[in-house]
Amino acid sequence: MWPKGMMKPVSAMRWRGMARVFSTLCVPILLLVSAGWGQEASRGWVAYGGGPESIRYSPLTQINRQNVPRLEVAWTFDSGEEGGLQANPIVVDGVVYTTTPKHHVVALDAETGALRWKFDSHIPLNGANRGVTYWASGDDRRVFTGQDHFVYALDARTGQPVPGFGRAGRIDLAEDLGRPAAQQSIRLTTPGIVYKDFLIVGGRVGEGLPSSPGDVRAYDARTGQLRWAFHTIPHPGEPGYETWPRDAWTYSGGANNWAGMAVDEARGIVYVPTGSAAADFYGANRIGDNLYANSLLTLDAATGRKIWHFQAVRHDLWDRDFPSAPSLVTVTREGKRIDAVAQTSKQGYVFLFDRTTGAPLFPIEEHPFPASTMEGEVAAPTQPLPTRPAPFARQRLTEDMLTSRTPEARQSALEAFRKLRSEGQFVPFRADRDTIVFPGYDGGAEWGGSAFDPESALLYVNANEMAWTGGLAPSVAVKGGRTLYLQSCASCHRDNQRGAPPQIPSLVGIARRRPEGDLYRIIRKGEGRMPGFPNLSDEEVDALVDYIRTGRSRRVAAGPSPVSLKYRFTGYKKFLDPDGYPAIAPPWGTLTAINLDTGAQAWQVPLGEYPKLAAAGLTNTGSENYGGPVVTAGGLVFIGATSFDKKVRAFDKATGERLWETTLPFSATGTPATYEVAGRQFVLVPAGGGKDGGPSGGLYVAFALPTANATASLPSGR
């Protein structure tokens, strides 16, 4: 490896592909104006998702259908860290701002990749950190970054905290929630969004009880002072309060914006998708529809006042939260242009609304679903589903859809399937038999988001087509190490501690892999996808660590608890064959183009492969994929995302034909950015891996068309 932030000079590389005649001659240019940047916005990548509209579109055309096979590595930046990347880098005034696996913030020269500065908060962190937010007013230019439960304001020129922001350059998201700050667990995993001089943020909170509330908050970008807050779990007297138990606002949590937002700067409206209420899978503590969980909220960006909302899942029992920021699009109906908002979902649907009024642009119908048979639970009798577009992922798993990869794999899948319930969407879990969740907990659509092409009105969304299972079990009455584990940890790591690798690691043998002190810190503060548990007493943490390390379950004193649930979730489990491949027939991952003018599907292709299967002749299966697409006026859709084959690809945006691909040292599970600097267009790909159980890193790779002095190349994986 070479020094961090430096390019390794080797011979230029050329990439093979299939050329097409470039035909995109007249393309409308989006006014991607943020903080008055104008032309800079059209050439840069000024915000998470490309811009305030979150459509991941670029009007650049230098790289196009005809020449994309000639792409080569222009520069690389390697943080030298492990842990993976989920970031979507931003590019402003020739500078790349992004994060590393350890949540350091770096500023890179956008033309060469040379490191300009690095910020280290000295807070030990890894896991999801999807980027940063940029704000400018005159000569005052700042980069906002989430570091655990803090948000720092950094001087964009130096990377140093801005002294006048909050306390010593940071604000604490655990404060201002109406509950003791020391007992809150909240992190800003997806960057906030800027409207004028407001920084608007959500945050990731725990999915079990107790949990922090999911308030949406706006802070003064100069001072860090709280300007407004919207309670997604309504307080007494607020609309929606009647959809929860009387005291739920004091103890319940979730209904949070973890996936990002979009803002209509001209109208002053921020669009906020929210997550599920806690606890995720058994909701006897939250009888009612639970507004504003699982909703698309539209708020006045200056005041936080609600304008309209749509709740996609009432009283969610399946973790069917909205997984990504919505896209602000413009569509054509009967010759009339309509500004709209498109929101994808884990269950594989796209919802499309008039951006101002919230009126659906395709009919939404109420469908009846089964009642819960669990004591204390009351499932919603109906759920809303759009009539168009058709779902971009399969909706119900049946025997004829099981794997036929080998006779042994099929027989195993059949035997397992016949022990499960597979009745489609919105079937409440039971304690006597596990239920198929399809698409799985990670979608359908997921956090990578979608891209929208204003030229063709096509929306591009990548999706997982994986089946998972879930069930309930009675809670254990006696409080001890095992009880604490079942209540706090088993919903992710399962009763047997085996987890669902690589997304959810196994805890079997953890005493040999992690120091005891690490376990205390992780339980208190969280790590990766795991929230912290600051509510546990020292005695409870001691007992929990002892149980995880040794299997001993010593009793502890029963502390106060705001709610006690009769049932608990038994853990996330993938439906796999004996060799670890999906137990269903392909495709296991897809990329789909949907015409938002008509609701018709333009094309769908498998996305990703498993290298061992491809080598044996089983290609184009699709695979799990994380990270989103980018679409350009040059006629291309760029996407990495595939977890196992480590490839980044370019597709013809009109047909879905694959025009170019190359293999990276790590899978590209962040979303690319594309920008122009010094007259040259670049496609910047975050490649950190971490989703396939193999080595991970913190590598950024910039591709461009060749020049006479091009010298960069890819490093080898660790």
**How many other CB atoms are there within 10 angstroms of residue 655's CB atom?**
15
The pLDDT, as a whole number, for residue 561 is 54
Residue 169, both tokens: 């350059």
Task: Give the containing element (helix H, strand E) for 382.
Answer: strand 382-386
- Greater confidence (384 vs 507) lies with 384
> Do 39-395+438-466+586-704 and 476-564 share a fold?
no
Q: Which fold has domain 39-395+438-466+586-704?
A: Methanol Dehydrogenase; Chain A (2.140.10)
64-68, 229-233, 422-426, 482-486: which has the minimum mean pLDDT?
A: 482-486
CB 320 within 8 A of CB 274: no
DSSP code at position 269: E
Please indicate whether residue 623 or residue 715 has the higher confidence score (pLDDT): 623
pLDDT in tens, 316-332: 999 999 999 999 999 99
Average pLDDT, the chain: 90
Whether the per-residue pLDDT at 7 is higher than 50: the answer is no
638 or 124: which leads in pLDDT: 638
Report the DSSP beta bridge partners of residue 269.
264, 300
Residue 557: band (very low, low, confident or very high) from pLDDT cuts 50, 70, 90: low
pLDDT at 517: 76
Highest-confidence range of 7-21, 449-463, 482-496, by mean pLDDT? 449-463
Please list the alpha-helical segments (H only) found in 329-406.
none
Strand 336-344 versus strand 589-595 pairing type: unpaired
Report residue 21's pLDDT band, with 50, 70 and 90 as the boundaries: very low
Query: How many percent of the chain have pLDDT more than 90?
Result: 77
pLDDT in tens, 617-634: 999 999 999 999 999 999
Alpha-carbon distances of 223 from 158, 163, 193, 199, 220, rounded to whole Å: 19, 9, 16, 11, 5
Say if residues 309 and 291 touch (Cβ distance below 8 Å).
Answer: yes
Structure tokens at 135: 């704000």
User: Residue 258 burial (CB < 10 Å; 0-12/13-18/19+)?
Assistant: buried
Q: For the purposes of burial, counting CB atoms within 10 Å of the CB of 707, is it exposed (0-12), middle (13-18) or buried (19 or more)?
A: exposed
Q: Where are the domains of the chain?
A: 39-395+438-466+586-704, 476-564
Per-residue pLDDT band at 238 (split at 50, 70, 90): very high
Angle 538-550/516-525 helices, nearest 10 degrees?
Answer: 130
Indicate whether 542 pLDDT > 80.
no
Query: Higher pLDDT residue, 409 or 716?
Result: 409
For residue 487, the one-letter residue type is Q
Band of the pLDDT at 477, cuts 50, 70, 90?
low
Lowest mean pLDDT among 286-295, 471-480, 483-492, 583-592: 483-492
**Of residues 260 and 509, more confidently modeled:** 260
Euclidean distance between CA atoms 607 and 236, whole angstroms: 47
Q: Which amino acid is at 635?
A: G
Tokens describing residue 38: 């104008």
Most confident of the following: 176-185, 412-421, 542-551: 412-421
Distance from C-alpha of 468 to C-alpha of 278, rounded to nearest angstrom: 20
Residue 90, φ and ψ in degrees, nearest 5: -110, 155
> 193: part of which helix (H) or strand (E)?
strand 193-195
The overall longest dimension of the chain from CA atoms, in Å, is 73
User: Residues 249, 236: contact at Cβ < 8 Å?
Assistant: yes
DSSP conformational letter for 694: S
What pLDDT shows up at residue 606? Answer: 98
Split at pLDDT 50, 70, 90, the class of 718 is: low
pLDDT at residue number 8: 33
Residue 650, φ and ψ in degrees, nearest 5: -125, 130
Q: State the DSSP string of 495-523.
A: TTS--BTTTB---TTHHHHS-HHHHHHHH
Using the predicted structure, report yes or no on whether residue 176 has a pLDDT greater than 80: yes
Looking at residue 36, its pLDDT comes to 40
pLDDT reported for residue 541: 80
- For the 476-564 domain, the top CATH level (class) is mainly alpha
Q: How large is the average pLDDT for residues 98-108?
A: 97
CA distances from 334 to 337, 454, 559 (A): 9, 17, 63
- Of residues 100 and 532, more confidence is placed in 100
The beta strands (E) that lie in 48-102 are given as 57-58, 72-78, 90-92, 95-99
Amino acid at 528: G
For residue 548, which of 492, 603, 598 has the smallest C-alpha distance?
492
Q: Is the pLDDT of residue 5 over 60?
A: no
pLDDT of residue 556: 77
Mean pLDDT of 560-580: 85
Residue 24 has pLDDT above 70, yes or no: no
- For residue 15, is pLDDT > 50? no
467/589 Cα distance (integer angstroms):
11
Confidence of residue 40 (pLDDT cuts 50, 70, 90): low
Query: Of the given ranges (240-249, 394-403, 504-513), which has the lowest mean pLDDT?
Result: 504-513
* 663 or 536, which is more confident: 663
Sign, Cα dihedral of 619, 621, 625, 627: positive
pTM of this prediction exceeds 0.85: yes
- Intra-chain end-to-end CA distance of the chain, in Å: 9
